[in-house]
Amino acid sequence: MNLLVSFLIAFTTISPVWPIGPNPLPGDPFVIVNKQTNEVAFIDDGIVLEVYKAATGKNAELTPEGMFTVTVKAINPYYRKKDIQGGAPNNPLGTRWIGFDALDTDGRTYGIHGTNQPWSIGLYISEGCIRLNNEDVEKLFDNVPIGTKVFITNQSSSFEQIAKEKRAIP
163 in catalytic set: no
Q: Do the bridges between strand 30-34 and strand 149-153 make them parallel or antiparallel, or are there none, so unpaired? A: parallel
Whether 129 sits among the annotated catalytic residues: the reply is yes
**113, 131, 149, 166: which one is catalytic?**
113
**Pairing assessment for the beta strands 47-53 and 39-44 based on DSSP bridges:** antiparallel
**Phi, psi angle pair for 129, to nearest 5°:** -75, 175
Q: Which of 32, 129, 144, 150 is catalytic?
A: 129
- At residue 70, the 3 state secondary structure works out as strand
What phi and psi, each to the nearest 5 degrees, are found at residue 31? -120, 135
For every residue of 90-135, DSSP letters joined together read: T-TTTTEEEEE-GGG--SSSEEEE--S-GGGTTSEEESS-EE--HH
Q: Which residues are catalytic?
A: 113, 129
